[in-house]
Structure 1
Amino acid sequence: MSERSERAETGMTTRRSVLGNSHVDRAESAKTDFDTDFQTFIMEGAWGSVWSRPGLTKRERSLITLALLAAGGHEEEFAMHVRATANTGASANDIKEALLHVAVYAGVPAANSAFKVAKAELSLGQDEKGAAE
């Protein structure tokens, strides 16, 4: 197995800080020869380059990501990034505000679907939080 590039190492650190260790560990254990090159591309490009840049905070990147995923109708990725807001500092109110922008600029149906997913994910987070208290 080849050594990971510095950008991939940076990406892994950023990815873990945003998505959490358990999510990343599950994703890493699910990699196969078929998708390893794609996973490396994502690690270096998305996480090691864009998400690791100093220009925006993780909260700001999180909100941009949520808006783009909602606008594109990418519900599974959107749900994952709603869960990640626990690590990025974006609040439920921040998500709501981002989705109102989605409604205006990308369409009410996209925002409606995203609100449904966000409500479900946020209520799961509250249920888990309540169970821990």
Structure 2
Amino acid sequence: MPINITSHELFTASQQLKSFIDRFVPEGRLTGALPSISTDYVKLQDEVMWGGVWQVPGLDVTLRSIATISAQCCNGWGFGLHHQVRVGLSLGMSPQKIKGLFLQLMFYAGIPATVFALSQAQRVINERTEWISEDRMPLKADWLDSVEKKFQHAQSVITSNMDSGVVLSRLDSLEEQFIPELHRLIESYEYGEVWRRSDLSTKERMACILVALMCRGHWHQFGEHVRRCLNGSLTQREVCELVSQAGWYRGWPYVEDALAIIDELLAESTREH
């Protein structure tokens, strides 16, 4: 996005996007009162968020929506979740994909946040007949019948999605040392079951995990996950745009901290090669 773009051009771009994604917004929603509360706030939101952040090249709009929904799940604000789930559905994401995000985020945002997110998502899905109809065709999950099978499949998923150094560190992890039974159970269900589902692509899973780790401030795990993302699932530009998109909803200092870690990892990779 060129620096010489005008405020009017940003506003026009924001209105074009909002006219599409706000087609199904109910009357009387919270932001409907914002112009009478603070026209300056609305101007900032329209020009910076909808006209700017959402339209910067380098990341498709579905991944931007996934990043935003994931950030709002971590934030736990009902209004923000309502609106962003509605945006995702308006962009063509299925109810199964929306719910699949919260299944994946269960392991990173926690049970309370994802239970709340699922309940809020269902409220939005129930607003429109077509979304309800889609929701009544749930994803058929072929659950494996033993933890052993899940664990075996998990190891295959981990090996194919992480570089060898990360795999070795996981096998020698603190979890394996101190809580081996629980560690293997969690790994079996996350990688052996949730990752097998077709509601999200590998890229989408990596994206929502990246956002959750940033929004929760888990910087050590964030750095490890960036390595995995850059191992083939996401480009450098996509990783940077994902944290920038989520940071608008979590707070810009999180973006600055995340970019500092990404910069260190890229510099380290350059030295190694």
TM-score (structure 2 length as normaliser): 0.43
- What letter matches 2:158 in structure 1? R
Selected match of 2:153 from 1, 5, 10: 10
Selected match of 1:111 from 228, 233, 255: 255
Q: Tell me, in whole angstroms, the C-alpha distance in 1 between the residues paired with 2:214 and 2:153.
A: 27
Q: Tell me, in whole angstroms, the C-alpha distance in 2 between the residues paired with 1:68 and 1:15.
A: 19
* Contact preservation (8 Å) 2:215, 2:250: yes
Change (3 A) 1:123 1:57: farther
Give secondary structure in 2 for the equivalent of 1:86. helix
1:122 deviation in Å? 2.2
Give secondary structure in 2 for the equivalent of 1:99. helix
Aligned residue pairs total 126
Structure 1 residues 1-133: aligned runs within 5 Å: 5-30=148-173, 31-32=176-177, 34-128=178-272, 131=273
Q: Tell me, in whole angstroms, the C-alpha distance in 1 between the residues paired with 2:201 and 2:266.
A: 21
1:76 deviation in Å? 0.8
1:104 deviation in Å? 0.9
Change (3 A) 1:56 1:126: farther
Whose radius of gyration is greater, 1 or 2?
A: 2
Q: Tell me, in whole angstroms, the C-alpha distance in 1 between the residues paired with 2:190 and 2:153.
A: 11
The answer for unaligned runs of 5 or more in structure 1 is none
Q: Tell me, in whole angstroms, the C-alpha distance in 2 between the residues paired with 1:114 and 1:120.
A: 10
Q: Tell me, in whole angstroms, the C-alpha distance in 2 between the residues paired with 1:96 and 1:78.
A: 13
RMSD: 1.9
Q: What do the CA deviations read for 1:41-72 (whole angstroms, capped 9, x no partner)?
A: 23112211222322222222111111111011
1:4 deviation in Å? 6.1
**Higher relative contact order (Cα pairs below 8 Å, separated by 6+ residues):** 1
Give secondary structure in 2 for the equivalent of 1:5. helix
Q: Tell me, in whole angstroms, the C-alpha distance in 2 between the residues paired with 1:69 and 1:79.
A: 9
Q: Tell me, in whole angstroms, the C-alpha distance in 2 between the residues paired with 1:25 and 1:120.
A: 22
- Percent identical: 21
